[in-house]
Amino acid sequence: MKKPKLLFLFFITIISTMSGLQASIADNDTKIKNKIFNFSSEKIDTVMSTEWKLSGQYLEKYENNATLIKNPNLKLYKSNFSTNILSDTAFDPTGEMIEIYLKNNVYINRTDSSNVSILKLYTSYAIFYLSMINIKNA
């Protein structure tokens, strides 16, 4: 008589534990707020010069403002050089283009004003800080 009761309590415990686990998994899923296919965007500064251009296969913006980009192509422009950044995926945790986490087949190419490559970098992972580019020397 005690054995079936213990077995029943054991199953109830497992079921309640699994339902709690399912609830916590559902709470951790971040929902997609927007998804844009074949997108492009650019940032223009106060003197109407292009700071950067971004394009990609698609962009997913989540409810917490994090952004995932598939096949990003980021071009950064400065007066004496430009930088082209490619990868399979990019992740922006804040959605404000402060820092970008690049993953898989990362290629960075920087050229000077005469279009000569001064830097070529191939890697698997990279973190690119856009805020560091905007720091001016005093």
- Please write the tens of the pLDDT for every residue from 89-115: 999 998 888 888 999 999 999 998 888
32-133 CATH fold:
lipopolysaccharide transport protein A fold (2.60.450)
Q: Any idea what the Cα angle at residue 11 is, between residues 10 and 14, rounded to 5°?
A: 90
Q: What is the mean pLDDT of the chain?
A: 78
Mean pLDDT per 10-residue section of the chain, whose length is 138 residues: 54 51 46 91 85 92 92 89 92 88 92 85 87 46
Q: Could you count the other beta carbons within 10 Å of the beta carbon of residue 53?
A: 16
User: Model pTM greater than 0.85?
Assistant: no
Domain-by-domain residue ranges, the chain? 1-30, 32-133
Q: Which two tokens stand for residue 65?
A: 């403002």
Of 94, 90, 84, the C-alpha closest to 104 is: 90
